Amino acid sequence: MVDLIPASPAGREIPADAGESKLRTFAGNLLGKVFAVSSATLKPPTVGDDASSARLKQVVFTVTECCQTTVLDPRVETLVPKLDAYDKELAGFAYEGAGVGLAALDTLMPTKRRTLAFATGPGAPYIFGIYLGAGMGLARMRFNPEPFRRRLGDPLFGWAVLDGYGFHQGFFAHKRYVIEQRLPGHLRGYGRRVFDHGMGRSIWFSSGADVERVGATIAGFCETRQADLWQGVGLACGYTGGVDRPTIERLRAVAGERQGHLAVGSAMSASIRHHVGNTADHNDFASEVLCGMPSAEAAAAVDSLRRGLPTDPEVPAYALWRQRILRQFE
């Protein structure tokens, strides 16, 4: 990479910060093209009603726009004000986009560990979304997300990297991962289950939030994967929205015996939104219908269930946490 920095005139040394700036500009220009998303790219295999599709595209474009903003200038002092300028309800998606860009930069210039520094620093309230975005960035750059997750050293939220990875593969490589139902060979054990959480979210998006299509798509997967897919759908429905209350009621009916798993995702979405104070009507509807309680109560339940998780080398803390949530809402 150093060879990409032009020599200074008359043999003068370029200051370190100038060299870094040139590297950043090069990386930003390169990644800006890699992460460009057009209307054609976003067109899902099937579409629901216009309002739902418009909402889902708004979310994807927000994530993409903030990714591009980040790769062009990841400095915290300029990045955070730009992310915070978005409407509060969209802030989580803005920070998710930043996670996409930071992880991509980490793959090109790995010494600074930008994603970790941002997620545990100024972006800490949005840590889950940042790590979701990081997984998408790694997928886009064709990097194995597992070593990246382990380096984060976070036994809970670090798993969101694999969720984001699964979302990207399900949404942008729909044929391979949703239609052909392949699993990434480099993921093992619980990592594959979290991958399916992201896959479930991608199904919500790629179906245009069409409840019947969501149900039919998941029903086509082997039974051992369906529960995790429904958890992803619950998170996407509760956090992203795009549908009204009657549609959420229909979603619950379509989930059938997997309603408890749908509730896990919805409760997680309530916790994520309440943690940063950007509640939304669709999140309230989802929590009331899927969890049987207001979103504030669901969020409090999720947070309380996180306390005192045992350290078990055989079972990830994140898995134990979600098991507790499932028992709460089954």
pLDDT, one tens digit for every residue, the chain (330 residues): 222 222 333 333 333 444 455 544 544 454 555 566 554 555 443 444 478 888 888 998 899 999 999 999 999 999 999 999 999 999 999 999 999 999 999 998 888 899 999 999 999 999 999 999 999 999 999 999 999 999 999 999 999 999 999 999 999 999 999 999 999 999 999 999 999 999 999 999 999 999 999 999 999 999 999 999 999 999 999 999 889 999 999 999 999 999 999 999 999 999 999 999 999 999 999 999 999 999 999 999 999 999 999 877 778 999 999 999 999 998
pLDDT given at position 21: 52
State both tokens at 20: 């870094």
Structural contact between residues 171 and 207, judged by C-beta atoms closer than 8 angstroms? no
Residue position matching structure tokens 């970790």? 116
Residue 93 lies in a domain: yes
Residue 60 lies in a domain: yes
Residue 11 lies in a domain: no
Residue 9 lies in a domain: no
Burial 196-221 (b: 16+ CB within 10 A, else e): bbbbbbbbbbbbbbbbebbbebbeeb
Structural contact between residues 105 and 74, judged by C-beta atoms closer than 8 angstroms? yes
CB atoms within 10 A of CB 9: 7
State both tokens at 140: 């886009």
Measured CA to CA in angstroms, residue 163 lies from 12, 42, 146, 168 at distances of 47, 19, 11, 9
State both tokens at 330: 């089954």
State both tokens at 117: 């520094």
The three-class DSSP label of residue 121 is coil
Structural contact between residues 207 and 46, judged by C-beta atoms closer than 8 angstroms? yes
State both tokens at 262: 């749908």
Phi, psi of 321 (to 5 degrees): -60, -45
Q: How many domains does the chain have?
A: 1
State both tokens at 76: 């915290």
Domain that holds residue 214: 17-329
Structural contact between residues 67 and 137, judged by C-beta atoms closer than 8 angstroms? yes
CB atoms within 10 A of CB 151: 14
The three-class DSSP label of residue 202 is helix
Residue 5 lies in a domain: no
pLDDT given at position 41: 53
pLDDT given at position 23: 47
Phi, psi of 182 (to 5 degrees): -80, 160
Residue 148 lies in a domain: yes
Closest CA to 172 of 31, 37, 32: 37
Residue 8 lies in a domain: no
Residue 1 lies in a domain: no
